[in-house]
A and B are shown apart, each in its own frame.
Chain A
């Protein structure tokens, strides 16, 4: 019955199109100046892409070859990585851990961020400060205390334990980020919905959450990537081969006296592909999310 009362979400007029188009055209009209934009971009792009090219080349050319353009290509290193090092299991563990961290960090940071943005409560400033302070503590320092606690809680050798540790470490920053995003969505919109009969929760879901999409993507993808790259905890909290994650598997290619560059590069490709895919899909939101965030003049 409340359904009928809900008005279409209060219309925020589409922001006036920034005059970028015209400006871009202005530059394009002066061909002499075009290189001023393109040249630095090309240089920067090369600078970023060459390591990736290096990785690809090492991954597909046979050991001992020094060709710059690998041909014929070989997949033996991928075979080593997947079958001999056991990347199959590590990959699965990493995916489970990454998704787990993503879900918990995002959900919890929305909940906490909402409270921080919308309510005034005693100790709020202290709480925020404490959250920021946790970021000063490097993971390596917490390693042994955490290890002892996890041991008594029976959380060693389990992906659940890793997720808990990683969520705890990532949450403070995500929380602060998220509260900034939420603060930027005018409270009036929610109030309007509540005047129309929504509960606070419903107003949040119907009005605020849809606008948070870029923020959710930004926070979620950072959480996922952070978890994906976590090495220290993944190695220290697991003492069983079938509980290791990708970064640990990657470091297997670096032996005490020998380094298998082919396997290292092939493993790097395997580990990078999901992250690249995630970015490819979400980058549109991500740019929006970052610019819509807390840091605004």
Chain B
């Protein structure tokens, strides 16, 4: 009987023993790359690029690790504390300040200006990245930009004899006209759940034309025109949108849109794959409408880029890979597959941009000298808690008619002003 016990334990050990086996290759450097949006959509793109990189640099081996996007920040945090960071990692400006604050990243200014990427990166993206770090250094090399836009059903618009809206008033008319609640058809879908306020802010500034987030240290978020827009959108709730919208995160929103019950949806370039896969050529994109001022103001989305981690044992090899990923050829390949705006300016002459209507449209908006960028203060440590945790439930109250747009924005603006002051004082 004792033997049996030993045998069971031994079997269990044997079962688990197949776990270890770290081999260090001699002669070649191995670097680790973390993809911050791992999954079946991105992995093949990176695998192809890594293959090309290894062919050009036989002495460097790249190990790809896809991190699920919902957990990437926690994964980075744990890795930083444990000293197990990768050599290169995909990082967006939405948590860049957080990583810089933990002193995990190496500044890349000298490397960028000393190599082929000098003057080849879209200035608006470089500026966004700089503004995210307290010392205005470049801690990621920007690779790709996303932009908020409105996806709409071309077939519904055609059937109703409507033109895609250019102003918010046209937008609201269209949303109302395209709604037929009896047939379960709605003109618009509001993001009322997770992530709602970020989208609402971009809508508000697009409408108001207010051209900076802070004026004299005070948040402009509660500008009267911004509040007007919030009320206008809230007015559409239930009249031109499904009732369930009050809890919508982007997954539900996209499911409604691709499911064919909604005519227009405010999201960003990132849903390109989903909407075209489901709706084919019955869908197209327009920029967020403009307000009465006619000015086009854009609150930019987080910028994607690649960071080199301070802990890297092969910082030169790591940079070589980050630089390769941002080179015109790789950057073009990546953004064409993903359907986003390439950061490398050499890519703009590529043929795919001409045939890719929504990317061309987004690039056109960013390139237009009349467009004013209003970057949100994502560098504030409290930014996410103020705009998400504190404000998202409040926005639901606005939708349900328990709070006015002005009250809602006043509250948020007050907190942002305080946070900005704190940040300025610490600088």
Contact = CB atoms under 8 A, between A and B. Distances in A.
A151 B81 CA distance: 11
A63 B22 contact: no
Contacts of A158: 19-20
A28 interface: no
6 contacts: A235-B68, A235-B75, A239-B79, A240-B65, A255-B37, A258-B270
B81 A99 contact: no
B351 interface: no
Nearest to B304: A256
A160 B19 CA distance: 6
A252 B267 contact: no
Contacts of B22: 157
B268 interface: yes
Given A158-B19, A258-B274, A80 B279 contact: no
Interface residues of B, number: 62
Contacts, number: 130
Contacts of A236: 74-75, 78
Contacts of A147: 78, 81-82, 84
Interface in A140-186: 143-144, 147-148, 151, 154, 156-161, 163
Contact of A84 (B4, B9, B18, B44): B44
Given A96-B16, A100-B15, A160-B20, 10 more contacts: A96-B15, A151-B82, A202-B1, A241-B65, A252-B40, A254-B68, A255-B39, A257-B267, A257-B271, A259-B251
B15 A258 contact: no
Interface in B336-389: none
Find the residue from A63, A154, A163, A252 having the highest chain B CB count within 10 A: A252
B71 A103 contact: no
Contacts of A263: 40
Given A100-B12, A160-B19, A255-B39, A235 B71 contact: yes
Given A160-B20, A258-B271, A144 B78 contact: yes
Interface string A79-103: 0100011000000000010011001
Nearest to B44: A84
A243 to B, nearest CB: 8
A80 B40 contact: yes
Interface stretch (B48-56, B101-109, B135-143, B253-261): B253-261
Find the residue from A80, A99, A236, A243 having the highest chain B CB count within 10 A: A236
Interface of A: 63-64, 66, 80, 84-85, 96, 99-100, 103-104, 107, 143-144, 147-148, 151, 154, 156-161, 163, 201-202, 205, 235-236, 239-241, 243, 248, 251-261, 263
Given A239-B84, A254-B69, A159 B19 contact: yes
B65 A239 contact: yes
B315 interface: no
B39 A85 contact: yes
Interface in B6-46: 8-9, 11-12, 15-20, 22, 32, 34, 36-44
Nearest to B86: A239
B328 to A, nearest CB: 24
Given A160-B16, A161-B19, A255-B41, A64 B81 contact: no
B64 interface: yes
Contacts of A157: 22
Nearest to B302: A256
Contacts of B84: 147, 151, 156, 239
Nearest to B270: A257
A255 B267 CA distance: 14
B427 interface: no
B38 A252 contact: yes
B1 A201 contact: yes
A143 B71 CA distance: 14
Contacts of B67: 235
Interface string B93-117: 0000000000000000000000000
A84 B12 contact: no
Given A107-B8, A151-B84, A252-B66, A258 B17 contact: no
A146 B223 CA distance: 48
A257 B40 contact: no
Given A84-B43, A144-B78, A254 B16 contact: no
Contacts of B81: 144, 147-148
B37 A256 contact: yes
Interface in B240-282: 250-251, 254-255, 258-260, 267-271, 273-274, 277-279
A241 B66 contact: yes
A258 B69 CA distance: 11
Contacts of B65: 239-241
Interface in B111-167: 146
Interface in B210-226: none
Given A66-B260, A147-B82, A258-B270, A163 B16 contact: yes
Contacts of B259: 66
Contacts of A66: 259-260
Contact of A248 (B32, B36, B68, B250): B68
B182 interface: no
Contacts of A99: 15
Contacts of B75: 235-236
A83 to B, nearest CB: 9
A188 B215 CA distance: 83
A200 B69 CA distance: 54
Interface string B291-317: 000000000000000000000000000
B2 A201 contact: yes
